[in-house]
Structure formats: C-alpha cells, structure tokens
Structure 1
C-alpha cells in the first residue's frame, strides 16, 4: 500500500482546486476592474454630457427673451429694447427738461456793463469753476444781430486765445482782475461790445470755436455759446456774489420785468 501516493493525491487535487479558485478570483477581480473602468468612462461621458447640457442652458438663458409682466393679461410682453430712441415719444410731458447749465451752474448777472444792453452772465459751478457768456437780455441776442467777429486779442501784447495752462493749479494761466477784458464782439452794424470777466482768478480757456464761427455765440452756453472758462480766486468769489451790481437769477428776472414795463 503506497501511503505517499494516497496522501499526495488528495493534496494535489486540493492544490489544484485552490489554484483554480485563485485563478477564478483573479479573473473575477480583473473583470470587476475592467467593468469599473468602463463604468468610470461611461460615467465620465455622462458627466461631460451633463456639463455640456448645463453650459448650453446657461448660454440659452443669456439670450434675450421677452419679459412677462405680472398682470391680469399674461400674454403681454415687453417689446424688444434694442432701440429706445423713441421711448419718450409716447410720454406726455408739457414741460421742459433742465439743461446741463441749469442743473449744475448758478447764474449771476452784470447789467449794462460798459454800454447799454451789454448784459453778461457768470455761471458758477458747484466746484467754483465759472463760465462766462452773454446774458439772454444782451442786445446782440435780443436784436438777433449778425456777429462779424469775436476777437480775443484784447491788446497788441495780449491774446487770450494763446492762454496755456497745465496741472490742477492751472500753471501758466493768464491772471484776471475784475476789469480785465476777455474779448471784443464786433457786429456787422458797426457796433462793438467789450466783455469783461468781472471776477478775480485765472483764465482756464476761451471758446476758440467762436473765432471760426462767431454766430455760435447765440446758442446756449452748454451748446457752445460760452465765451470763457475761469478759475476764480475763492477769497474774492463771495465778494462778487454779494456785490451790489451783481444780480441773482430772481433779481435779474425782476430787473427785466421792470425794464419792460418802463418801455411800455
């Protein structure tokens, strides 16, 4: 009786069965790994597709769509707002909107300066910058005179149009006194009108466009009808406002009404 063969035979079978089980387990594990890898790829594709769909939805949401008004008529939609130029055409408003000059500048007036009807206006901004223009009651505007020339050369040695400034302090600016001439206006009827600044400060700029187109002076200040921009000396600005010869807008209106009543 061969004991070794009897003992070895079951052992060999046992080892074989164990090896088979191990191989099956490895193969199963490989299959699982492959399956998981495939699933990961598929899941990745699904995520990518989902992200793409979300991205497309986001792009679509940015497109203009009519806004629905929360009202009884749910079918009402706003018209496209690509062109709003005529939006105010349907607004019924009988008044007039204030101009930029009216909103941000306070006017002060000098009447009959140098000559009768030579009325000027000094517009003072909230930041104290001043703009000089003709007053609405100036004889040039009232009689609609034809302006031949606006001359900023006030003397043989001084030309206001050559004024050059730099920096916040306006270095190089021409100094101005209350009686300093800004320009001379020559009309085709032979009349001339000397315009003074009436305030102490520095000349920032003159309206050089008037040299090429003098008729521009008849327009409103914010449309090009101003003469000069001046940086006043803040120490003398209040004195100018409180001067007896300086009229506020309300006093100016009263003065014009009194003048019209005397003419009648």
Structure 2
C-alpha cells in the first residue's frame, strides 16, 4: 500500500492516523511527538535466542506497534547492513471495521518476518550474510505489516523506532495486563542495560 500508518492516535479517536509519504517534516514531527506522549514502551529480551530484543509501543486504545529494541544487534551498523525483509505473516484482506473483524490472529511466539543483513565485520568462519527473526511478542490480531520496508528495508536501521516498525497489532483488551507482565518497562530496560545506556540512547534518537 502507498500509505503508511503512523503509530499514534488523535485525541478522542479510535482509528490510526494515516499520513501520506509526502507529508511535511513539521507534520511528521508533530505526529511523532504523539508516540512519546500517548504510547508506553515495553521490552521483551532474548526472544528465542540471545540479544533478539524487541520493543512494543502500546497505546491506551490497545493498538500495539512492534519494533526492534535499541539493544538489538541489527542496530550495530558497523557490523550489519540490512538488505531485505521477508514477511512470514500477512494481513487478512477481508479484515474490516473499527474492531478489525476477520483480522488474522497471531500468537506471541509466531515469527512475523525475517530481516536479512550483510555482515560487514565478520569473525572467523562467520558467513557473509545473516538473518534475524522478528516475532509478534503478543497474542493479538494482526492489523498491518509495514509493506514500505519491502522497498526500503534500510528504514529498519535508519528509523528503527518510527518508520521502521514491523507490524501493528491489536491484543484483546482483557489480556493486555497479563501479557505485558512478562515485559520490561522502559525504566527497567534502561536499568538492565545501564552499562550500555549511551549506545542505547543513540539508537533511540532518530
């Protein structure tokens, strides 16, 4: 699709705001500020293998957006260069309405996609290409995949916590608290990674 969803909602509005790719920088900056004001950040670390760290940004209307966390190896741009993304899950085209009827259900352990990278700094016997598996992290309806990444996979590294999102999910309202109990809050995440906070903060700033 030619339109991309930004990751926030206007006040008193349940539906996601949609911005054209040609939206002005000032308009984008205005909307991106909503991600800080209205979304809470939750982190799940070491999913399936070490350092496969994910970030879920959760809005009060239960819309969740999936990213890689600042500590994810993909954001080590000296070592890895993203070359392509391959989605494993796709949106059900019959999905409709505010409550996303007929949306595809995914579970927390299902892979969403594979991110392929060139390895720029190889260790001995390390292959020249590697892929990372990204997971949904939540039991939820799959509302959108970021098709823009198929044409511009570099956004995963250039804009990892805005335009480089992987998917938009909608978990059941009565399950959110239980599901998020396994995640770290933003402050807990920073404390856990306090020895590398400078690097993490660099990766948060875009």
Instruction: Judging by fraction of residues, say which structure has more strand.
Output: 2
Provide TM-score, normalisation by structure 2.
Answer: 0.69
Measured after TM superposition, the shift of residue 225 of structure 1 is 1.2
Aligned mates of 2:175, 2:114 — CA distance in 1:
25
Q: Does the CA contact (< 8 Å) of 1:115 and 1:193 recur in 2?
A: no
Give the match for residue 181 of structure 1: 111
Structure 2 residue 154 is the aligned partner of structure 1 residue 215: yes
Which residue among 71, 76, 87 is the counterpart of 1:142? Answer: 76
Give the match for residue 250 of structure 1: 187
Structure 1 stretches of at least 4 aligned residues deviating more than 4 Å after TM superposition: none
Measured after TM superposition, the shift of residue 101 of structure 1 is 1.6
- Where 1:240 maps in the other structure, the secondary structure is helix
Give the match for residue 178 of structure 2: 239
Could you say which structure has the larger radius of gyration? 1
User: Which string of whole-angstrom CA distances, capped at 9 and with x for unpartnered residues, describes residues 3-41 of structure 1?
Assistant: xxxxxxxxxxxxxxxxxxxxxxxxxxxxxxxxxxxxxxx
Aligned mates of 1:143, 1:120 — CA distance in 2:
17
Pairwise CA RMSD of aligned residues? 1.8
Q: Which segments of 5 or more consecutive residues in structure 2 lack a partner in the other structure?
A: 1-31, 120-128, 198-206
Measured after TM superposition, the shift of residue 176 of structure 1 is 1.1
Structure 2 residue 138 is the aligned partner of structure 1 residue 199: yes
Measured after TM superposition, the shift of residue 134 of structure 1 is 0.8
Q: 1:240 to 1:206 in 2, by over 3 A?
A: same
Aligned mates of 1:199, 1:205 — CA distance in 2:
14
> More relative contact order in 1 or in 2 (CA 8 Å, sep 6+)?
2
Q: How many residues align?
A: 154
Give the match for residue 121 of structure 1: 55
Within 5 Å, give how 1:25-104 maps onto structure 2: 99-104=33-38
